């Protein structure tokens, strides 16, 4: 059996911030030629760091580089592509930040996935997350590169103590902040009924996982799930930009298919000064 893959992405500035520094990508990579070939996609979510100008520029650059580089690669190895493109995005953002005082210190989180049939290859830098919702259980696939994530992994502080700390929003690894960066990579075999959620901390920081599970159970269609997830974050205060990309796997008895929104939120990257 071949998977039928559906995906949708949505982003919102939230209720407090004037500028949306999040960006995302949903791109269908399936071959257009005849024949039975694996359904393929490229998905990504980025959350900019560094203020109104820098953060939005950095996240837009990361998504733009992902989108442009994939066009030039035929028969790519997903792991190699993701590793190379993360390094390239990091270098380009870092170099631009070093040249332009207005963008000094800018960076971005980035979580990206390439799907080929039932295999999903992921890479991550920062604290934007990838989740797998399977058989009613929500599992975080990526590790948060943040001060809060480190405290949780080492069981050093309680959740209440983490929430009260002035360091709770500190990112420990991002694209563009240092000259070199290493991305975490992993791959997952998807099964019928699986749902993947990619999101920024504007979602999971305000919507408890129990609520996310209820929403994904009630709304199996990716667009409906995105609508309700973002509404839930805004209802909870919406004090940050919020972005979600939802991907569902269903069984298809015919040829593999992909139905993506083929959407991308990338505001124009300002010209270099």
Greatest alpha-carbon pair distance for the chain in Å reads: 57
pLDDT tens-digit map of 150-176: 767 777 666 676 676 665 677 889 999
Residue with the bigger pLDDT between 255 and 186: it is 186
- Confirm whether 270 is domain-assigned: no
What φ, ψ does residue 193 adopt, rounded to 5°? 90, -5
End-to-end CA distance of the chain: 52
Identify the band that residue 32 occupies on the pLDDT scale cut at 50, 70 and 90.
low
pLDDT single digits (tens) 192-231? 999 999 999 999 999 999 999 999 999 999 999 999 999 9
Q: Count of residues for the chain?
A: 273
Residue 153, CA atoms < 13 Å, CB-side half-sphere? 10
Give backbone dihedrals phi and psi of 74, rounded to 5 degrees, phi first: -115, 130
- With cut-offs at 50, 70 and 90, classify the pLDDT of residue 50: confident
pLDDT at 261 over 60: no
Cα 273 to chain centroid distance, Å, stands at 29
Q: Residues 30-48: what's their mean pLDDT?
A: 75
Beta bridge partners of 264: 25
Q: Considering the domain boundaries, does residue 77 fall inside one?
A: yes
Sheet strands (E) in the chain: 2-12, 22-28, 40-49, 107-108, 110-116, 119-125, 129-134, 137-140, 184-189, 195-199, 242-252, 257-260, 264-265
Mean pLDDT within 1-17: 86
SS3 labels along 179-238: CCCCCEEEEEECCCCCEEEEECHHHHCCCCHHHHHHHHHHCCCHHHHHHHHHHHHHHCCC
Structural domain contains residue 196: yes
pLDDT of residue 263 exceeding 70, the answer is no
pLDDT band at 268 (very low <50, low <70, confident <90, very high): very low
Angle 78-99/51-71 helices, nearest 10 degrees? Answer: 140
Residue 45 has pLDDT above 80, yes or no: yes
The region of weakest confidence among 14-18, 26-30, 257-261 is 257-261
| Res 9: pLDDT | 94
Q: What is the pLDDT of residue 72?
A: 60
The answer to whether residue 89 is domain-embedded is yes
244 is a domain residue: yes
CA-CA distance, 23 to 267, in Å (whole number)? Answer: 8
Domain that holds residue 56: 2-264
CB atoms within 10 A of CB 153: 10
Which carries the bigger pLDDT value, residue 192 or residue 273? Answer: 192
Model pLDDT, residue 154: 72
Domain assignment present for 272:
no
Q: Write out pLDDT tens, residues 71-96.
A: 765 677 899 999 999 999 999 999 99
CATH number at residue 12: 3.60.40.10
269 lies in some domain: no
Domain count, the chain: 1
């Amino acid at each position: 059996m071949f998977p039928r893959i559906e995906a949708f992405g949505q982003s919102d500035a939230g209720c407090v911030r004037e500028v949306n520094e999040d960006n995302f990508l949903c791109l269908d990579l399936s071959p257009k030629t005849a024949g039975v070939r694996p359904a393929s996609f490229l998905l990504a979510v980025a959350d900019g760091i560094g203020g109104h100008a820098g953060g939005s520029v950095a996240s837009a650059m990361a998504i733009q580089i992902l989108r442009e580089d994939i066009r030039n690669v035929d028969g790519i190895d997903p792991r190699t592509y993701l590793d190379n493109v993360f390094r390239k995005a990091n270098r380009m953002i870092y170099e631009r930040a070093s040249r332009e005082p207005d963008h000094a210190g800018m960076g971005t989180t980035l979580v990206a996935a390439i799907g080929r049939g039932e295999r999903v290859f992921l890479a991550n830098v920062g604290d934007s997350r990838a989740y797998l919702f399977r058989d009613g259980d929500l599992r975080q696939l990526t590790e948060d590169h943040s001060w809060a994530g480190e405290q949780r992994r080492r069981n050093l502080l309680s959740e209440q103590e983490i929430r009260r700390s002035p360091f709770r929003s500190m990112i420990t690894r991002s694209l563009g902040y240092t000259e070199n960066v290493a991305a975490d990579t992993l791959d997952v075999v998807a099964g019928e009924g699986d749902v993947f959620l990619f999101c920024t901390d504007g979602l999971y920081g305000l919507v408890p996982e129990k609520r996310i599970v209820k929403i994904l159970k009630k709304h199996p269609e990716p667009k409906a799930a995105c609508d309700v997830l973002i509404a839930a974050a805004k209802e909870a205060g919406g004090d940050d930009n919020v972005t979600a990309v939802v991907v569902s796997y269903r069984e298809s008895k015919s040829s593999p298919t992909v139905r993506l929104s083929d959407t991308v939120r990338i505001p124009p990257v300002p010209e270099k000064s």
